[in-house]
């Protein structure tokens, strides 16, 4: 028998549970989902509203004003993020300026402090760069931003630490009123409680109807959002709103508590409380509205889109109080915006209601304010980080490379009082998968950690609710026991035969970031050129990079004159690397690189260490473009992978990612994975390509798609993804010449898995930090003929510079980078900013050229230009010009964007006299 | 009386990005009488002949490995395999169970399906 049962563990249920847990009461928090904070709390604007918006006299007005005042101290004591950045409601016409006056009056009546209407000049000081039509704004300094799910989790864990029971995966099926108690049934499970609080969000009307006639109806309203990459949060300083309308507060633009930019929502009434799909039209509307506030928003940095549901009622105000139908039953319902900010005030009020009913409540004398630490490891002072790594080396191991989340934090989240049990649970608590790769790299590692800590097998780990399985089994139909993999089940470094030092020297001649094919080749070339003092830092547990998962053949034809598989190519370089005795650190993450070549890294053994390098080679490779980044609408169930992540699961880990697959995009990895899935017993329902040709090599089309009779749908796109827990189908449509879907051509393909093969993006977050100039066309550093970037002494090679088609070219380019770095270290090369410097210039139908700048007198015998063309061309010529003078014309039977083009120029091809630009263009060739 | 079977097959050449669509026609059991159309070079004709008379593919996959840091080991056929044998070959490959350590190039299936082709490991593990 419990004193109080709370149904629903969103921000409201958890806040009430935590408030009640301060008193001597026995409590149970009942949640239908697999985790707390899984409904509206998971997907909203995350704004702590100031409180000028609700109509005076309403519960919304009261609890918004009170809640806003409680937030700073609440978030501080729970270590939840909170930033009181203030909000601006912006007026774009005289009519809207009047609205601001009304809002101000309302705000004053609601008792909101600090409100002020400001004119355009003042607005420009506070928030530069707004749309020029903005006339003025209502400034509310007390508005803020938070992390709603982390806050709800911290509240739930505090309640749990104070004795509240948290019952997950338990949907309430019926409620019986006894004389002075309630019996709550969750299927077969029965729970008895004296008082019952209905905080069931979107389902509150159904819970309420279990004890009497319907008192209210919840009408779900859906809002769609864009989330942009970390760092974009600095595009704006405040929470920016348009003027509110009858439909709501409108599309806002705001930084998030984690430095992202959030843009949304629209508001659409929907029928189902489970329909969290995004739509093309909704997102388009959000984008258009946001641009009215600020024109230059970086929509090219979108990392995901999502939608959240609000539990609206026809009444419009919160419904809080004892049910008229049943004594002891309290509704806390209809909590749409500003529910998040109101939550702590509502919790305090509801506690008062219980106290009134039950007689005065007695405070506990040993209340635990916070169950555990919630601060991100990387946000802690350095001394504390060092101490934590010494006590638990797991804090020295980065699992999420985008957000720099450590294994220690993930394990801490799993073993909290309301611990993470799912991949999404880990993401909500510590954010791996919340970054730009959307779990592409860390997903498999997070699953491994969950399996290890919970003593489960990998296929038992769900994304979210039961049914949201990520893996459908193992390859070869042979079970895998992660415990038997021992050290490597935990991915410990594979150091056999390698020179691995503990600790580091203060200075290295050459530091190479990345131990894939590019980094290894650069290090080997530098060693051959006489550089003794080299350190290679690799984030994975072995060398070889992405080649280790590319088990297909087709590598090495140019370097070795034979056809190798990816792992074979990697092993040849690993052997050379070992032979050369080059020092490396595995399982080590570089955290930052400065323009004066100071490099900070972290690992389990050395902790956080900063070293100085004379030269650096950047060889971090690339990542895959995700579903979120290309904005495909629909649901977000399990079963959506980038092709490379699936490749890792299938080829390295030995797990199947699904049984009926649709591949979206016809890049080489997508085509190769289509074949792999078929060979491992899955069905590939279709490969879908928006254009009328494949991005992949002809050979891969023939040998991966045609050989296996896989339907190849050119000029099609995915317009919707269906499935609540696991993918159930995709809706496809024909595309027009702009690759946009054509209305009326929609059809559905049943599948349980979607593999995205929609391109690769060089990983240049560290390069940016070092001040390296990037080329927008490649996404990689601007480099010279020796692969040196715009920062002296920092070189770059491989896919971090531009995405290559063949690893053989990566090797060539990396040898050049290694030699260039060696020349710099030995003092042979000094930077020459003379007029002998010329630039390469991509002209007609050439999308980019690497290198970007060339020091003419440093060309030894020949100069190689790497480029990609735009569009398909037959019977054409590549024309190279030094300023206006044609220096070379190369006939080509065919040019396609999928293949990198190399032009080799002899030194004698170039004119003697000084010229500014060396351009390349595609020209028609007669006949 | 000997029976002659006429055949016609469409092939895409993989030798260069042109991807010529070629049509092979003629008498199936009489390779010297085959006719080719659609190719734009001599190599294309040679490819079409091979691809029509005896299409082969290098098969790459993984096998089960025990006592190793990873649960699967990548493998390939030592030479291109007749295309029609790929699925049967996969069945054989799926039966293999190894124990670490295994060196790169180790034969894991000898004389696969009596073709004279081996299946070999493509990395060292353990």
**In this predicted model, what pLDDT tens digit does every residue of A690-717 receive, in sequence order?**
999 888 888 999 999 999 999 999 999 9
The last residue of a domain, from among A467, A490, A513: A490
Q: What residues are paired with A331 via a beta bridge? A: A198, A321
Give yes or no for B63 touching A (CB within 8 A): yes
Q: How confident is the model at residue B21, as a pLDDT?
A: 86
The residue count of chain A comes to 927
Contact map slice: A 507-566 vs B, CB within 8 A = 548, 551-553, 563-565
**Which chain A residues are Cβ-neighbours of B12 within 8 angstroms?**
698, 701-702, 706
Report the chain A residue with the minimal C-alpha distance to residue B95: A476
Q: Which contacts (CB < 8 Å, 24+ apart) does range A902-905 have?
A: A902/A809, A902/A864, A902/A865, A902/A866, A902/A867, A903/A864, A903/A865, A903/A867, A903/A878, A904/A862, A904/A863, A904/A864, A905/A862, A905/A863, A905/A864, A905/A865, A905/A880
**Which chain B residues are Cβ-neighbours of A553 within 8 angstroms?**
58, 60, 76
| Percent residues over pLDDT 90 in chain A | 89
Mark whether A445 and A530 lie in a shared domain.
no
Q: How confident is the model at residue B30, as a pLDDT?
A: 67
Distance CA A791, CA A771 (A): 7
CB atoms within 10 A of CB B126: 18
Residue pLDDT, tens place only, A153-193:
999 999 999 999 999 999 999 999 999 999 999 999 999 99
For B60-121, CATH gives 3.10.530.10
Q: How far is A74 from chain B (nearest CA, A)?
A: 46
Give yes or no for A694 touching B (CB within 8 A): no
Give yes or no for A488 touching B (CB within 8 A): yes
Q: How far is B2 from chain A (nearest CA, A)?
A: 32
Q: Helix, strand, or coil here: A594?
A: coil
pLDDT of A262 over the 70 cut: yes
Contact A476 B63 (CB under 8 A): yes
Mark whether A595 and A658 lie in a shared domain.
no
**Which chain A residues are Cβ-neighbours of B19 within 8 angstroms?**
698, 701
Q: How confident is the model at residue A249, as a pLDDT?
A: 86
Q: Which of A565, A591, A620 is nearest to A760 (CA)?
A: A620
Determine the structural domain holding residue A723 and report its residue range: 640-758
Q: How confident is the model at residue A491, as a pLDDT?
A: 63
Compute and round to an integer the Cα radius of gyration of chain B. 19
Mark whether A473 and A549 lie in a shared domain.
no
Distance CA A126, CA A114 (A): 15
**For range A47-75, the mean pLDDT:** 98
Q: Helix, strand, or coil here: B19?
A: coil
CB atoms within 10 A of CB A189: 12
Mark whether A74 and A181 lie in a shared domain.
yes
Query: Sorting pLDDT into bands at 50, 70 and 90, what band is B4?
Result: low
Mark whether A149 and A8 lie in a shared domain.
yes
Mark whether A440 and A586 lie in a shared domain.
no
* Preceding amide of B56 cis, omega within 30: no
Distance CA A332, CA A314 (A): 15
Backbone angles phi, psi at A109, to 5 degrees: -65, -35
Give yes or no for B106 touching A (CB within 8 A): no
CB atoms within 10 A of CB A612: 14
**Which chain B residues are Cβ-neighbours of A564 within 8 angstroms?**
122
Q: How far is B32 from chain A (nearest CA, A)?
A: 25
CB B44 within 8 A of CB B15: yes
Which among A475, A703, A894 has CB closest to B16? A894
Distance CA A396, CA A608 (A): 7
CB B25 within 8 A of CB B6: yes
Q: How far is CA A817 from CA A241, A667, A794, B67, in A?
A: 49, 27, 10, 39
In a domain, A430, yes or no: yes
Q: What residues are paired with B82 via a beta bridge? A: B56
Q: How far is B122 from chain A (nearest CA, A)?
A: 5
* Preceding amide of A164 cis, omega within 30: no
Mark whether A752 and A782 lie in a shared domain.
no
Give yes or no for A483 touching B (CB within 8 A): no
- A850: domain CATH number is 2.60.40
In a domain, A722, yes or no: yes
Beta carbons within 8 Å of A574's beta carbon, 6+ residues apart: A520, A543, A544
Query: Sorting pLDDT into bands at 50, 70 and 90, what band is A36?
Result: very high
Q: Which carries the bigger pLDDT value, residue A488 or residue A430? A: A430
Please spell the DSSP secondary structure of A541-565, one letter per residue: SSSSGGGGG--SEEE-TTTTSS-EE
In a domain, A200, yes or no: yes
Q: Which of A22, A39, A19, A5 is nearest to A330 (CA)?
A: A5
**Which chain B residues are Cβ-neighbours of A475 within 8 angstroms?**
62, 72
**Which chain B residues are Cβ-neighbours of A894 within 8 angstroms?**
16-18
Residue pLDDT, tens place only, A324-353:
989 999 999 999 999 999 999 999 999 999
Interface probe, candidates B56, B71, B73, B87, chain A, greatest A C-beta count within 10 A: B71
pLDDT of A488 over the 50 cut: no
Give yes or no for B71 touching A (CB within 8 A): yes
Distance CA A778, CA A849 (A): 9
CATH 3.10.530.10 spans which residues of chain B? 60-121
Which among B14, B16, B76 has CB closest to A702? B14
Per the structure block, which two tokens stand in for A67? 């809640």
Q: How far is A871 from chain B (nearest CA, A)?
A: 13
Residue pLDDT, tens place only, A667-695:
999 999 999 999 999 999 999 999 998 88
pLDDT of B5 over the 80 cut: no
Interface probe, candidates A473, A475, A476, A868, chain B, greatest B C-beta count within 10 A: A476
Query: Sorting pLDDT into bands at 50, 70 and 90, what band is A547?
Result: very high
Query: Sorting pLDDT into bands at 50, 70 and 90, what band is B36?
Result: confident
In a domain, A298, yes or no: no
Mark whether A606 and A682 lie in a shared domain.
no
Give yes or no for B62 touching A (CB within 8 A): yes
Give yes or no for A805 touching B (CB within 8 A): no
Distance CA A433, CA A442 (A): 7
Which among A571, A702, A706 has CB closest to B123? A571
Mark whether A459 and A504 lie in a shared domain.
no
The last residue of a domain, from among A351, A374, A397: A374
Give yes or no for A479 touching B (CB within 8 A): no
Per the structure block, which two tokens stand in for A14? 């958890």
Report the chain A residue with the minimal C-alpha distance to residue B75: A551
Contact A698 B17 (CB under 8 A): yes
Mark whether A53 and A197 lie in a shared domain.
yes
Which residues of A are known to be catalytic? 49
In a domain, A156, yes or no: yes
pLDDT of B3 over the 60 cut: no
The residue count of chain B comes to 126
In a domain, A255, yes or no: no
Interface probe, candidates B11, B63, B64, B70, chain A, greatest A C-beta count within 10 A: B70
Q: How far is CA A434 from CA A146, A240, A286, A431, in A?
A: 15, 23, 21, 5
Residue pLDDT, tens place only, A216-243:
999 999 999 999 999 999 999 999 999 9
**For range B52-75, the mean pLDDT:** 94
Please spell the DSSP secondary structure of A696-743, one letter per residue: S-HHHIIIIIITTT--EETTEEEEEEE-SSB--EEEEEEB-TTSPBPT
The last residue of a domain, from among A442, A467, A490: A490
Q: How confident is the model at residue A693, as a pLDDT?
A: 87
CB A799 within 8 A of CB A759: no
Q: Which carries the bigger pLDDT value, residue A894 or residue A656? A: A656
In a domain, A459, yes or no: yes
Mean pLDDT of chain A: 95
Angle value at C-alpha A412, between A341 and A230, nearest 5 degrees? 55
**Which chain A residues are Cβ-neighbours of B57 within 8 angstroms?**
703, 707
Q: How confident is the model at residue A926, as a pLDDT?
A: 64
Contact A701 B17 (CB under 8 A): no
Distance of CA B65 to the CA centre of its chain: 24
pLDDT of A833 over the 60 cut: no
CB A216 within 8 A of CB A319: yes
For the entire predicted model, the pTM comes to 0.95
**Which chain B residues are Cβ-neighbours of A698 within 8 angstroms?**
12-14, 16-19
Q: Which of A46, A427, A48 is nearest to A264 (CA)?
A: A46
Give yes or no for B88 touching A (CB within 8 A): no
The alpha-helical segments, DSSP class H, found in chain B are: 42-53, 86-95
Give yes or no for B43 touching A (CB within 8 A): no
Q: How far is A798 from chain B (nearest CA, A)?
A: 22
Interface probe, candidates B40, B44, B60, B75, chain A, greatest A C-beta count within 10 A: B60
Give yes or no for B2 touching A (CB within 8 A): no
Give yes or no for A444 touching B (CB within 8 A): no
Mark whether A411 and A478 lie in a shared domain.
yes
Q: Helix, strand, or coil here: B89?
A: helix
pLDDT of A486 over the 80 cut: no
Burial of A247 from C-beta contacts in 10 A (0-12 / 13-18 / 19+): exposed
Mark whether A403 and A467 lie in a shared domain.
yes
In a domain, A262, yes or no: no
Residue pLDDT, tens place only, A577-604:
999 999 999 999 999 999 999 999 999 9
**Which chain A residues are Cβ-neighbours of B58 within 8 angstroms?**
553, 563
Give yes or no for B13 touching A (CB within 8 A): yes
Number of compact structural domains in chain A? 5
Contact B76 A898 (CB under 8 A): no
CB atoms within 10 A of CB A372: 16
């Amino acid at each position: 028998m419990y004193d109080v049962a709370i149904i629903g563990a969103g921000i409201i249920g958890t806040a009430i549970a935590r408030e009640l847990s301060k008193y001597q009461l026995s409590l149970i928090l009942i949640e239908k989902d697999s985790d707390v904070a899984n409904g509206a709390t998971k997907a909203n604007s995350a704004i702590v509203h100031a409180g000028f918006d609700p109509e005076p006299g309403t519960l919304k007005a009261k609890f918004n004003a009170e809640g806003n005042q409680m937030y700073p101290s609440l978030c501080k004591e729970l270590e939840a993020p909170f930033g009181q950045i203030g909000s601006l409601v912006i007026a774009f016409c005289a009519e809207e300026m009047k609205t601001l006056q009304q809002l101000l009056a309302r705000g004053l009546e609601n008792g909101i402090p600090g409100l002020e209407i400001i004119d355009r000049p003042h607005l420009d000081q506070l928030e530069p760069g707004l749309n020029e039509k903005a006339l003025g704004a209502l400034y509310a300094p007390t508005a803020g931003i938070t992390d709603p799910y982390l806050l709800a989790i911290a509240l739930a864990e505090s309640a749990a630490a104070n004795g509240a029971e948290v019952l997950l995966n338990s949907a309430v099926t019926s409620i019986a009123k006894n004389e002075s108690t309630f019996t709550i049934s969750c299927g077969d499970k029965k729970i008895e409680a004296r008082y019952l609080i209905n905080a069931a969000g979107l389902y509150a009307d159904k819970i309420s109807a279990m004890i009497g006639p319907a008192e209210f109806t919840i009408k779900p309203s859906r809002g769609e959002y864009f989330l942009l990459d970390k760092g974009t949060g600095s595009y704006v300083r405040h929470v920016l709103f348009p003027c509110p309308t009858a439909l709501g507060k409108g599309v806002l633009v705001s930084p998030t508590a984690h430095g992202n930019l959030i843009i949304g929502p629209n508001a659409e009434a929907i029928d189902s409380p489970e329909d969290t799909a995004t739509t093309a039209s909704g997102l388009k509307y959000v984008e258009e509205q946001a641009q009215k506030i600020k024109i230059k928003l970086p929509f090219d940095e979108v990392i995901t889109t999502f939608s959240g549901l609000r539990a609206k009622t026809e009444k419009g105000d919160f419904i809080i109080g004892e049910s008229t139908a049943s004594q002891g039953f309290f509704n806390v319902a209809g909590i749409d915006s500003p529910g998040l900010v109101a939550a702590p005030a509502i919790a305090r009020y509801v506690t008062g209601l219980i106290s009134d009913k039950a007689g005065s409540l007695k405070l506990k004398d040993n209340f635990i304010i916070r169950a555990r630490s919630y601060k991100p490891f990387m946000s802690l002072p350095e001394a504390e980080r060092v101490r934590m790594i010494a006590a638990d080396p797991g804090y020295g191991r980065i699992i999420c490379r985008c957000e720099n989340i450590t294994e220690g934090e993930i394990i801490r989240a799993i073993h909290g009082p309301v611990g993470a049990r799912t991949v999404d649970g880990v993401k909500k608590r510590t954010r791996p998968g919340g970054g730009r790769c959307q779990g592409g790299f860390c997903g498999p590692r997070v699953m491994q950690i969950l399996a290890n800590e919970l003593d489960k097998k990998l296929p038992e780990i769900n994304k979210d609710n039961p049914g949201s399985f990520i893996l459908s089994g193992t390859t070869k139909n042979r079970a895998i026991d992660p415990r038997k993999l021992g050290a490597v089940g935990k991915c410990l470094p594979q150091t056999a035969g390698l020179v691995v030092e503990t600790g580091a020297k203060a200075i290295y001649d050459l530091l190479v970031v990345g131990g894939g094919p590019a980094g290894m080749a650069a290090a080997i070339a530098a060693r051959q050129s006489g550089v003794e003092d080299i350190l290679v830092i690799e984030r994975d547990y072995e060398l070889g990079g992405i080649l280790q998962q590319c088990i297909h053949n087709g590598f090495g034809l140019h370097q070795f004159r034979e056809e190798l598989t990816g792992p074979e190519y990697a092993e040849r370089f690993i052997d050379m690397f070992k032979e050369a005795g080059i020092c490396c650190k595995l399982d080590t993450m570089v955290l930052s690189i400065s323009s004066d070549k100071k490099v900070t890294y972290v690992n389990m053994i050395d902790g956080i260490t900063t070293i100085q390098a004379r030269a650096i080679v950047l060889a971090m490779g690339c990542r895959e473009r995700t579903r979120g980044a290309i904005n495909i609408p629909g649901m977000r169930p399990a079963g959506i992978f980038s092709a490379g992540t699936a490749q890792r699961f299938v080829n390295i880990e030995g797990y199947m990612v699904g049984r009926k697959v649709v591949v979206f995009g016809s890049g080489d990895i997508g085509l190769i994975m289509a074949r792999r899935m078929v060979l491992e017993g899955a069905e590939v329902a279709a490969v879908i390509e928006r254009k009328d040709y494949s991005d992949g090599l002809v050979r891969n089309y023939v040998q991966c798609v045609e050989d296996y009779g896989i339907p190849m749908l050119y000029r099609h796109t995915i317009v919707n993804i269906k499935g609540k827990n696991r993918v159930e189908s995709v809706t496809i449509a024909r595309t027009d010449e702009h690759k946009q879907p054509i209305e009326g051509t929609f059809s559905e393909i049943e599948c349980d898995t979607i593999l995205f093969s929609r391109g690769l993006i060089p990983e240049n977050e560290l390069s940016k930090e070092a001040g390296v100039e990037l080329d927008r066309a490649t996404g990689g550093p601007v480099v010279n003929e020796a692969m040196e970037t715009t920062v002296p002494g920092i070189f770059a090679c491989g896919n971090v510079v531009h995405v290559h088609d063949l690893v053989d070219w990566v090797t060539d380019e990396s040898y050049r980078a290694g030699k260039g770095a060696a020349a710099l270290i030995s003092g042979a090369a000094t930077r020459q900013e003379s007029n002998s410097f010329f630039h390469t210039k991509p002209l007609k139908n050439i999308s980019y050229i690497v290198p970007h700048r060339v020091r003419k007198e440093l060309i030894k015998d020949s100069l190689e230009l790497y480029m990609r063309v735009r569009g398909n061309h037959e019977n054409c010529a590549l024309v190279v010009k030094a300023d206006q003078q044609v220096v070379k014309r190369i006939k080509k039977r065919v040019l396609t964007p999928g293949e990198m083009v190399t032009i080799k120029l002899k030194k004698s091809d170039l004119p003697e006299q000084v010229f500014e630009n060396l351009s390349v263009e595609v020209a028609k060739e007669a006949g | 009386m000997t029976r002659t079977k006429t055949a016609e097959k469409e092939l895409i050449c993989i030798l260069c990005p042109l991807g010529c669509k070629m049509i092979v026609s003629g008498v199936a059991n009489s390779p010297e009488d085959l006719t080719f159309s659609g190719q734009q070079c001599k190599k294309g004709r040679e490819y079409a002949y091979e691809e029509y008379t005896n299409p082969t593919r290098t098969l790459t996959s993984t096998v089960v490995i025990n006592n190793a840091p990873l649960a699967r080991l990548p493998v390939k056929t030592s030479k291109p395999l007749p295309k029609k044998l790929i699925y049967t070959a996969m069945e054989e490959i799926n039966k293999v169970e190894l124990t670490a350590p295994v060196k790169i190039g180790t034969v894991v299936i000898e004389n696969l399906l009596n073709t004279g082709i081996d299946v070999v490991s493509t990395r060292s593990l353990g």
